[in-house]
Structure formats: C-alpha cells, structure tokens
Amino acid sequence: MKKNYTIKDIAELAGVSKGTVDRVMHKRGKVSSKALEKVNKVLDKIEYKPNPIAKSLKNNKVYNIAILLPDANEDPYWLPCYEAIDQIENEFSHFGIKINKGLFKPYSTKSFKKAAELVISKKPDALLMVPLFNKEAEIIAEKCLEASIKIATFNNYIKDHKVNLEIGQNLFQSGRVAAKLFNMLFGKKASLAVLHIDEAFQNASHMQEKERGFKDYYTQKEDLDYSITVYNLNKNSKISLEENIESFLKTVHEVDGIFITTSKSYLLANPISSYLPNSIIIGYDLVAENIKFLKEDKIAFLIHQDPKKQVYLSLTRLIEFFLFDKAFQESVTLPIDIINTENYQQYLD
Amino acid sequence: MKKNYTIKDIAELAGVSKGTVDRVMHKRGKVSSKALEKVNKVLDKIEYKPNPIAKSLKNNKVYNIAILLPDANEDPYWLPCYEAIDQIENEFSHFGIKINKGLFKPYSTKSFKKAAELVISKKPDALLMVPLFNKEAEIIAEKCLEASIKIATFNNYIKDHKVNLEIGQNLFQSGRVAAKLFNMLFGKKASLAVLHIDEAFQNASHMQEKERGFKDYYTQKEDLDYSITVYNLNKNSKISLEENIESFLKTVHEVDGIFITTSKSYLLANPISSYLPNSIIIGYDLVAENIKFLKEDKIAFLIHQDPKKQVYLSLTRLIEFFLFDKAFQESVTLPIDIINTENYQQYLD
DNA sequence: TAATTTAGTGTGTTCGAGCACATTTTCTAC
DNA sequence: GTAGAAAATGTGCTCGAACACACTAAATTA
C-alpha cells in the first residue's frame, strides 16, 4: 500500500520549500545544483503523481471541445451521437467542459468546409470530427495542428494524417464477420451479393473496406463453391436510387445472401420479399427502419457500429487528457457487434 | 449557456455571507427566516450544483471498496475481472479509492462466508460481490445494510433483496439469442439439446434462466418442427463429469444444435467431433479454451457475458457515487454480445 | 441595569497544486 | 569592504466547498 505523496511531503523529505520542489518538477530553473540533487533523490525514491483533483481545481479553466458531425436530419444514423454529446455535456459541465456542435450535410463538401471553418474560428481546445471528406478533412486537420488544437476523429479516418485520437471500427474485419455469418448459414455452396447502397459518394472508402473484408474471408476458405457479385446501387445523373434498386431486383434471379455495406438496408428489405423471398440480408446499423425490418425477419443480422459509443469514448478520452493529463491512446478500435432480433434492445440503451 | 455558480456568487446575490448560504444548503439551522428566504429566492432562480472537484478535494477521504468474487484459479472465467480491478485501482488511486479483493472458491459456501466476513470486518464503504450463493449472500447483504455499507452485485442477483446497484445480463434473453441463432441455421426442422455442464450447483438459477429463454423462443414460434432435450452433465456422487459427458455422447445419436449454458463448452467441443460431427455448438464466455475451439470451428458461437465490463461498470458507478454524489441507477443490464471467429478479438481488449 | 445565554452571522482555515511575489543568499565589481 | 545585481529560496495567495470558530445582536435571567 503506497501513500499518495504531496508536494509538501516531498519538500519536507528533501529539506527544501515547496516552491523549490515545484520549480524542479516544472523545470522552471532557478534551482541550485545542491537543491536539485536533494529533490531528485527524494523523487527517485518515491513515486509522485500530482493530485489531479487539486490540479483541476487550481486550473479552473474552461475547455472548449468542438464537434463536427453530420446533421441527423439528413441521416438518422447520427442521431445517437447527439445523445452522447448531451450526456457528456451534463456530466462534465462542472469540470469546465464546453461542447460546441457543428453540423454539416453529409453529401456536401461545401457544407463540411463551412461548418469546420465556423467551429475552428472559435479557437476550441480540441476538434472532434467525422472526416467524411478526406481531402477537406486533411486541410482542417492541418489548420488545427497550426493552431495547436487537439484533433480527434471518429467513425472515419483521415488517410495519411496523424491525429491525436482516432476511434472507429475495423471495417475490413466487419466484412469478414458478415461473410462468416453467411458461411455458417449456407455451408459449402453460396451465391452472394455485395450491395453498396448510398445516395452519396463519401462513404466510398468505408464500403470498399467492408467489401474487401467480405471477399477476403471467402478467398481464404478453401473447398467452398461460392460466387460474389458486387452491385453499386447509387443515385447518379441518369437514374434515381429507387430505380436502381428496382432494376437490381429484376435482373438478379438467384442469390442466397445479400451483404449491404451501408445503413440503407431498409431500402431493399421491403421490395425484396416479392422478388427474392428466400434471400437473406445482412446489413449495418441500428437505425429505426432497419430495426423494424429486423423484427419482421426481413433482415437477418445487423452489424452495429455504435456511433454513440464512439462519440462517448472520444469525448471522455479528450476530457481525461485535459483534466487529468492522461495520455492519448492514438487509435482505438471498437468491437463489431452482431445484432439479431433477440439482442438489439440491449444495444439501444 | 449557463454559468456555474459558486457559493460566493450566491452569497453576494442574496446579500448574506457564504457561511449562511452553506447553512441553508446543508440544513444545519441557525438561520433567520429572513435570511433563509433571501437565499432560497436566489436558489430558486439559478441552478446551483456544487463543484464536485472542490468538494472532492476538501473531502480528502479514502473510500474503501471491497470486492468479493471467485478465485480465478478455480475458474478462468473470472480472470478478466482482475484486470478491470487493477485498471480501476490505478486510475482512481489519486481520488482516494482503495480496493480490497476477497476471493472465494466458487463451489464452497463456507469459503464464500469466510471471505465475506473477512472483507466486511474491515468496514469498507461499499461491498461489490458475485452472489453465487443466494442464502449466504442475503445474510451478507443484510449485514451490510446494518453497517450502512453500500452494496452492489454483478454477474448474479440476490433474489428478493434490494441492493444499491445490480449489474448483469438478461440471461433469459440470452437463451433466446441462442435459440434465434439455431433457428436461422436450421430453419423449420431442428433437433436441439440444452446442456447444463458444471461441476458445482451454484449456477443452477443462471442455467435455468438461459434454458427458459431458449425454450421460450421456440415455444412462441409457430409451424416449427423441433425437439428440445435437456441434459444435466454435472459431477455427482456416483459419476464424474467426464464420464457423464462420455455417456451423453454415446447415447445421443442425432442432434443439430447443442446449447451449452455455462462456460464449459470446451469440455464437449473436442470429443464431439468423433461422435456427432455435424452438431453445432453455441456456448458462453470468451475463456481461452472456448476461443481455441471457436477458432477451430468446433464451437459456432459464443455468447459473451463480459465479466470485465461488469466489474468496470460496477466500480465506476460506485466511485461516481462516492466522489461526485451521482445517484445509483439501481439495475443495469448489459448487451448480449454474439461472438464468432471474426469478432472475438475486439472483445478481448 | 448588568450579566449571561442564545440565536444569528461572518470570517478564516483546510484540502494540493501552481504560480506571483517577497525575502534571503551568493556573486561580482569597484 | 561594500554597493548592487543576480541567483536561489521561501511565503502566501488562489481555485470552491465545508466546517470550526469568532463575533455581534437580541433575548433572558438575576
């Protein structure tokens, strides 16, 4: 059982005043070599960690954390993040934590840039963001670095750019999870489809990673008789998303499993029952519409990316850094939760 | 944006001294009705919550939390709990949190009672325990109540006894999760077995709950052609556990899915391949031996009860209560994680 | 009316870290 | 040997809550 030493304790042990101890610790100079040695001798013997509570009280600083994330009105996937933010704000308001939300449209780089500029102009101590647009995010990150604003990301990564904190899921591996589930369901012979459904393009790298993981699993398995076909059901200049889905359903005749790499499974889940009644869907994310179809057994599994947990964890890590000098663990990968009708409830809080 | 008011602020607003404000807040009397009114008027207008950091610093109290849990040498299921305890101890030692571990043999009520007595005799501020033995746990809980020791449980519940904090999993529901997985795998026709494998009896209620949930799922489903047989593979006075497993494997000839309600799936996973090579196992818990067989595809799914998270959460809730006056949320139910070969890694930390 | 209790109020100290400022010691120059 | 600068060291205040204690004013008793 070790004692928690205070500066006063150390001063007494070393035979100097707490001022001198303080100067040694903060390397502020103005200390004689004799005194330095005396203090260091004590410091070597005992293990001193400053009391974070006293530190925090003295500091009495307000930390501004900016969060840049998509508007949940545009995509309900982001809604749980808001809850996490509210919760954190409540819990830590008395610790001097202020949070400033910046929302952007998930399909507009312009909106992203605008929201980012606005949020940065207020000179926060940290910026937590969803870097949906890699190039633009990189520029923002660069600006933060210059202004010595701590930078953290969640849900997505910035390629080739170091950040202080990076929280997300192993997307490649989540593709493998889906593949494994299909493998269990269908055994040796399977006709599979990977569907990228999205109205916008910014999730491209996300979707690709998942597809790669999915294929990787099957490639590694030997003596399996399978086929994987990839479809891009995106809105483009010529045809709408709905039309694209419709034509997909008309063209494809036999498919055992459909892996949908975005949270838009619900767009397929309903029409599919008339076209491909025996196909099984695995999708992503616990948004309300997906859960509805999960309950109706039109979606077999959902993979949960837990955006709420991602935000919560990011924010607590930032706060612990500011308040208690806790070092960042640069990259954190969250579990890949497998969801079915029987366990979705527990993940919703 | 609301300000964080201090006692001094309130004193000034009310035109009294901080001493008077303090007396009003703590209802210590010695306040004139006139002053009381003045202070209450201010208190009604603003929202005051005392600064938890200042409070904690002033308090400067050491909180002793006792933990009563099984010896991991007897059952590796408990090993992750130790990590959580170490982590918490490290993280909160400067907040005046001291943790005292009490270990007991998971098959001996005597050992439980002894460890409990020892731990309580040191008059901790809280006792967190795994109430494996209901009757004995109830007695201990009663003693805690008398000594006004806060009481929390994890992994198991105490029947008919109120505790301050109760953290666990919905076992009934986890049985349903397993059933759903089998239903997905086998479709309309399935021959199923529920196996209770354990050397001791103290998990009886646990196992029963899981069995009930499992059966409940199939009972609710209509037009399914299924059979569920329940086996108790426990050591008893006449035959050993190994012999019991052996005889089970010899007797049973055709079974599609086997649901094992304890963490002992590994005992069955190996011998089964020669007797029932086509049977699929769903078990519980990420203990090393189970993971080994999961990787070899001899166990299809594991349901994760996350004892580490249970301890971590229990302890942080207790600490938040002591340090920051955060009220208890009496009962917390953790998610039921579905684990396969592709996602187990992320749950291990 | 003076002496003394009692209700009501305000002041000052503590917790530990951190820093400004005051004080003491040492060094340098003439 | 002493003035003056420079270096080294110690003291004291702050953050906000909590409580002990000192103090004032009103009430009670002799």
Q: Is the CB of A250 under 7 A from strand D?
A: no
Q: Which of A10-19, B31-40, B246-255 has the lowest mean pLDDT?
A: B246-255
**In Å, how far are A134, B69, B166, B208, B316 from B156, measured between CA atoms?**
47, 11, 8, 13, 18
Question: Which pLDDT belongs to residue B1?
Answer: 55
Secondary structure class of A128 (helix, strand, coil): strand
Question: Which pLDDT belongs to residue B263?
Answer: 92
CB contact (8 A) between residue B335 and residue A342: no
Q: Looking at CA atoms only, how far is residue B53 from chain A in angstroms?
A: 6
Within 10 A of A270 (CB to CB), how many other CB atoms are there? Answer: 13
Chain A interface test: which of B185, B309, B319, B338 (most A C-beta within 10 Å): B338
Q: At what angle do helices B171-186 and B204-220 cross, to 10 degrees?
A: 50
Question: Which pLDDT belongs to residue B2?
Answer: 67
Residues 6+ apart with CB under 8 A from A107: A74, A199, A200, A202
pLDDT exceeds 70 at position A170:
yes
Within 10 A of A236 (CB to CB), how many other CB atoms are there? Answer: 11
> What CATH number belongs to B59-163+308-335?
3.40.50.2300
Of the partner residues B93, B177, B342, the one whose CB lies closest to the CB of residue A4: B93
A133: left (phi over 0), alpha (psi -120 to 50) or beta: beta
Q: Looking at CA atoms only, how far is residue A241 from chain B in angstroms?
A: 30
Question: Which pLDDT belongs to residue B198?
Answer: 78
* Burial of B261 per CB tally in 10 Å (0-12, 13-18, 19+): buried
Q: Give protein residues whose Cβ lies within 7 A of nucleic acid chain C.
A: A 6-8, 18-19, 22, 25-26, 50-51, 54-55, 57-59; B 16-20, 23, 29-35, 54, 57-58, 60
Chain B interface test: which of A343, A345, A347, A348 (most B C-beta within 10 Å): A343
Chain B residues with CB inside 8 Å of A93's CB? Answer: 4
Spatial separation of the C-alpha atoms in residues A151 and A133, rounded to whole Å: 16
Q: Is the CB of B187 under 7 A from strand D?
A: no
Q: Is the dihedral of CA B260, B262, B264, B267 positive or negative?
A: negative
Spatial separation of the C-alpha atoms in residues B302 and B256, rounded to whole Å: 17
- For residue B197, what is the enclosing H or E element? strand B189-198
Spatial separation of the C-alpha atoms in residues B179 and B282, rounded to whole Å: 9
Question: Which pLDDT belongs to residue B29?
Answer: 82
A240-244, A246-250, B181-185 — most confident range: B181-185
Q: What percent of chain B has pLDDT over 90?
A: 76
Chain A interface test: which of B174, B284, B342 (most A C-beta within 10 Å): B342
B196 pairs with which residues across the strands? B232
- Site of tokens 């709905």: A242
pLDDT exceeds 60 at position A1:
no
> What CATH number belongs to A171-304?
3.40.50.2300
Of the partner residues A52, A173, A337, the one whose CB lies closest to the CB of residue B342: A173
- For residue B182, what is the enclosing H or E element? helix B171-186
How sure is the predictor about B201, in pLDDT bands with cuts at 50, 70 and 90? Answer: low
Q: Inform me whether the C-beta atom of residue A340 falls under 8 Å from chain B C-beta atoms.
A: yes
For chain B, the structural domain boundaries read: 7-50, 59-163+308-335, 171-304
Phi, psi (5° rounding) for residue A234?
-110, 155
How sure is the predictor about B245, in pLDDT bands with cuts at 50, 70 and 90? Answer: confident
The CATH architecture assigned to A59-163+308-334 reads 3-Layer(aba) Sandwich (3.40)
Spatial separation of the C-alpha atoms in residues B282 and B278, rounded to whole Å: 13
Residues A122-135: what's their mean pLDDT? 94
> Amino acid letter at A136?
E
Query: Are A198 and A268 spatial neighbours (Cβ–Cβ below 8 Å)?
Result: no
pLDDT in tens, B50-93: 999 999 999 888 999 999 999 999 999 999 999 999 999 988 88
Q: Which of A224-238, B127-141, B168-182 has the lowest mean pLDDT?
A: A224-238
pLDDT exceeds 90 at position B203:
no
Residues A254-279: what's their mean pLDDT? 90
How many residue pairs bridge chain A and chain B with CB atoms within 8 Å of each other? 98
Spatial separation of the C-alpha atoms in residues B281 and B311, rounded to whole Å: 28
Nearest CA in chain B to A1: B98
Q: Inform me whether the C-beta atom of residue B56 falls under 8 Å from chain A C-beta atoms.
A: yes
pLDDT exceeds 80 at position A201:
no
Of the partner residues B54, B56, B176, the one whose CB lies closest to the CB of residue A342: B176
> Amino acid letter at B146?
E
CA B66 from centroid of its chain's CA atoms: 15
Chain A residues with CB inside 8 Å of B3's CB? Answer: none
Phi, psi (5° rounding) for residue B339?
-120, 135
Give residue numbers, 2 to 31 of B, with CB < 7 Å from strand D: 6-8, 18-19, 22, 25-26
CB contact (8 A) between residue A347 and residue B334: no
From chain B residues 75-94, the ones with a CB under 8 A of any chain A CB are 93-94
Question: Which pLDDT belongs to residue B274?
Answer: 82
How sure is the predictor about B100, in pLDDT bands with cuts at 50, 70 and 90? Answer: very high
Tokens of A219: 């490639």
Spatial separation of the C-alpha atoms in residues A230 and A51, rounded to whole Å: 57
Segments of chain A assigned E as strands: 63-70, 97-104, 126-129, 150-154, 165-169, 189-198, 225-234, 257-260, 280-284, 301-304, 331-334, 337-339
Query: Are A258 and A233 spatial neighbours (Cβ–Cβ below 8 Å)?
Result: no
Q: Is the CB of A282 under 7 A from strand D?
A: no
Q: Inform me whether the C-beta atom of residue B331 falls under 8 Å from chain A C-beta atoms.
A: no
Nearest CA in chain B to A346: B335
Spatial separation of the C-alpha atoms in residues A204 and B178, rounded to whole Å: 35
pLDDT exceeds 80 at position A237:
no
Q: Inform me whether the C-beta atom of residue B336 falls under 8 Å from chain A C-beta atoms.
A: yes
Which residue is closest to D12 in terms of CA–C1' distance? A19
Q: How far is the CA of B212 from the C1' of C13 (A)?
A: 62
pLDDT exceeds 70 at position B199:
no
pLDDT in tens, A63-80: 999 999 999 999 999 999
Question: Which pLDDT belongs to residue A199?
Answer: 66
Task: Give the residue with greater pLDDT, B150 vs B273.
Answer: B150
Nearest Cα neighbor of B54 from B324, B329, B341, B343 is: B324
Nearest CA in chain A to B51: A94
Spatial separation of the C-alpha atoms in residues B267 and B197, rounded to whole Å: 9
Spatial separation of the C-alpha atoms in residues B259 and B230, rounded to whole Å: 9
Q: Is the dihedral of CA A297, A301, A307, A308 positive or negative?
A: positive
Question: Which pLDDT belongs to residue B192?
Answer: 96
pLDDT in tens, B313-336: 999 999 999 988 888 988 999 999
Question: Which pLDDT belongs to residue A2?
Answer: 67
Average pLDDT value for chain A: 92
**In Å, how far are A76, A161, A291, B74 from A208, measured between CA atoms?**
22, 20, 24, 46
From chain B residues 217-236, the ones with a CB under 8 A of any chain A CB are 217
Chain B residues with CB inside 8 Å of A174's CB? Answer: 343
Residues A210-235: what's their mean pLDDT? 93
Query: Are A214 and A250 spatial neighbours (Cβ–Cβ below 8 Å)?
Result: no
Nearest Cα neighbor of A221 from A257, A184, A256, A276 is: A184
How sure is the predictor about A202, in pLDDT bands with cuts at 50, 70 and 90? Answer: low
Q: Looking at CA atoms only, how far is residue B235 from chain A in angstroms?
A: 32
| Cα A341–Cα B157–Cα B202 angle in degrees, nearest 5 | 100
Nucleotides of D under 7 A from a protein CB: 7-12, 14-21
- Site of tokens 């030997």: A222
Task: Give the residue with greater pLDDT, B43 vs A238.
Answer: B43
Same CATH fold, A171-304 and A59-163+308-334? Answer: yes
Of the partner residues A1, A217, A338, the one whose CB lies closest to the CB of residue B343: A338
Query: Are B155 and B133 spatial neighbours (Cβ–Cβ below 8 Å)?
Result: no
Q: Looking at CA atoms only, how far is residue A4 from chain B in angstroms?
A: 7
Spatial separation of the C-alpha atoms in residues B112 and B69, rounded to whole Å: 9
pLDDT in tens, A299-317: 999 999 999 999 999 999 9
pLDDT exceeds 90 at position A347:
yes
Question: Which pLDDT belongs to residue B177?
Answer: 98
The overall longest dimension of chain B from CA atoms, in Å, is 87
